Copies of this chain bind each other. A is one copy, B any other.
C-alpha cells in the first residue's frame, strides 16, 4: 500500500514527442506492456544508466546506440528484464531494434531498447516484433498516461508529473513518467524514468542538468539498498517549442523545474516502495562535507533495524544513533550529535534529549511521514536521503514473488 501517493489524472503533452502503447502479451494478460516513444528528428537527449556491473542486455545496447549519436526511438517493454540472459539476450535486444528500424525505415542504431520485468527469461522477440506495426501506426502526443501505465510492473500506483516553465522566450512543458517499487528487483526489475520537454537545449547542458537533478532525487532514494540491472533515466528535449534555454536565468528556471519533477517522481517510487507503510526523509546537517553527510544518511536509511523500528512506530532512537556511529565518520564525537524526528528532540549529548518523553517519541514515530534530522555539529554540509520502512510485506513480496 503506497504512502500518501495518488496517480496524476492527466499528463501534459510535449510538442514534438509522440508515444504509443500496445498489449504484446510479453507476460501480462489484457494490459499494455510495450511502449514506443518518438523523440522527433531534432531532439537533444540525455541519459543515465545503472552503475551495476551486471547490467542487462538492453542497457548495453542502448549505450552502444546512444554513442552513435542518432537516437530517436525508444522501445520499452515491461514483464521481461532481458537480464542474466548472456549473449542470446544481447542478440534479442539488437533484433528488436533492427525490426523496429525496418518498420519505421530507420537505422537500427536510432532505436534504444529498455526492458523491465522478470530476470533470466528469454525475451519473446517474436511477440514484440509482431506488435511493432500497430505500435508505429498509433503514435500520439497525448500518450503519456498510457505510457506510464504500460511500464508498470510491481508498482501499485501510476507515476507521472508535468510542469510548465516560463522562460525568457516563452513557456515550455516538462512531462515525466517513472516506474519502480523497490530500488531494485532483479525479477521485477527496476527503475525506469522518461522525461520529455519541448524546450530547445544543448545536449551537453541537458546531460549536466539531468545528472544534477538525479543526484538529489533518483540517486537519493533507497528501498532496500540494492541497485538494479536495468535502471535508466532518459531525457528528451524536442526543441519543438522553439524556446531555447540559453540565459543563466533560463537555465536556473529550467533546472529548478527539472529538479522538482525528478524529486516528485523519485519520491513516488519510495512511497510505492515494496511493503512501505512509512515515507521517511533522513536529513544530515552540519557535516564536514557532503560525502560525510551522505554516508551518515545512507547508514541510517539502509539499516534494517532502523527500518523495522519505523514499521513498528517504535521510538527506538538507539538504533538511529548506532547507525550514525557505524557510518565511518572520522574523529566523531557522538556527544555533539542532535537528532530530531518530526521536530521532537530525541537525542542530544550522546543520550536521550532533556525533556524527551516516550509519549512524544511515540507520537512522532507514529506519523506516516517522518522527517529524521541528524545534526553532526561539525561543519556546513547537508544531504538528504529518502526511504521507507521495512515491513512484513517487504519480506512477503520478495520471498513469495516467484511462487
A residues sitting closer than 8 Å to B (CB atoms) are 51-55, 83-89, 119-120, 184-187, 224-229, 302-305, 308-309, 311-312, 314, 316-319, 321-327, 329, 332, 334-335, 347, 349-352, 390-392, 394-396, 398-403
Shortest distance from the beta carbon of A122 to any chain B beta carbon, whole Å: 10
Instruction: For the complex, give the distance between the alpha carbons of A226 and B319 in Å.
Output: 9
Instruction: For the complex, give the distance between the alpha carbons of A394 and B311 in Å.
Output: 13
Tallying the copies of this chain within the complex gives 2
Given A326-B226, A392-B396, decide whether A351 and B84 contact each other with a Cβ distance below 8 A. yes
Instruction: For the complex, give the distance between the alpha carbons of A13 and B53 in Å.
Output: 52
Given A83-B318, A350-B84, A351-B86, decide whether A395 and B308 contact each other with a Cβ distance below 8 A. yes
Instruction: For the complex, give the distance between the alpha carbons of A323 and B334 in Å.
Output: 32
- The residue that A186 contacts in the complex, of B85, B322, B335, B350, with Cβ under 8 A, is B322
Q: Which residues of B contact A334 (CB under 8 A)?
A: 53-54
With both beta carbons as reference points, the residue of chain B lying nearest to A349 in the complex is identified as B86
The 9 closest A-B pairs by CB, nearest first: A54-B325, A86-B351, A119-B318, A312-B399, A308-B398, A186-B318, A53-B332, A186-B322, A52-B325
Check if A326 sits within 8 Å of B120, measured CB to CB.
no
Instruction: For the complex, give the distance between the alpha carbons of A363 and B227 in Å.
Output: 28
Given A311-B395, A398-B304, A398-B309, decide whether A187 and B83 contact each other with a Cβ distance below 8 A. no
Check if B325 sits within 8 Å of A229, measured CB to CB.
yes
Q: Which residues of B contact A325 (CB under 8 A)?
A: 52-55, 229
Shortest distance from the beta carbon of A96 to any chain B beta carbon, whole Å: 18
Known: A51-B326, A84-B347. 14 other contacts (CB 8 A): A52-B322, A54-B325, A54-B334, A86-B335, A86-B350, A87-B349, A87-B351, A120-B317, A187-B319, A226-B303, A308-B399, A309-B399, A314-B401, A314-B402
Instruction: For the complex, give the distance between the alpha carbons of A120 and B323 in Å.
Output: 15
Instruction: For the complex, give the distance between the alpha carbons of A401 and B308 in Å.
Output: 10
Q: Which residues of B contact A88 (CB under 8 A)?
A: 351
Chain B CB count within 10 A is highest, among A324, A325, A335, for A325
With both beta carbons as reference points, the residue of chain B lying nearest to A324 in the complex is identified as B54
Instruction: For the complex, give the distance between the alpha carbons of A324 and B84 in Å.
Output: 12
Instruction: For the complex, give the distance between the alpha carbons of A323 and B390 in Å.
Output: 19
Check if A395 sits within 8 Å of B390, measured CB to CB.
yes
With both beta carbons as reference points, the residue of chain B lying nearest to A329 in the complex is identified as B53
Given A351-B85, A398-B309, decide whether A53 and B318 contact each other with a Cβ distance below 8 A. no
Check if B120 sits within 8 Å of A351, measured CB to CB.
yes
Instruction: For the complex, give the distance between the alpha carbons of A333 and B355 in Å.
Output: 56
Given A186-B305, A334-B53, A352-B120, decide whether A226 and B322 contact each other with a Cβ distance below 8 A. yes
Given A54-B325, A55-B325, A85-B351, decide whether A319 and B392 contact each other with a Cβ distance below 8 A. no
Shortest distance from the beta carbon of A87 to any chain B beta carbon, whole Å: 7
Shortest distance from the beta carbon of A325 to any chain B beta carbon, whole Å: 3
Check if B321 sits within 8 Å of A186, measured CB to CB.
yes
Q: Which residues of B contact A390 (CB under 8 A)?
A: 304, 395
Chain B CB count within 10 A is highest, among A119, A327, A329, A398, for A398
Chain B CB count within 10 A is highest, among A83, A228, A349, for A83
Shortest distance from the beta carbon of A393 to any chain B beta carbon, whole Å: 9
Q: Which residues of B contact A225 (CB under 8 A)?
A: 302-304
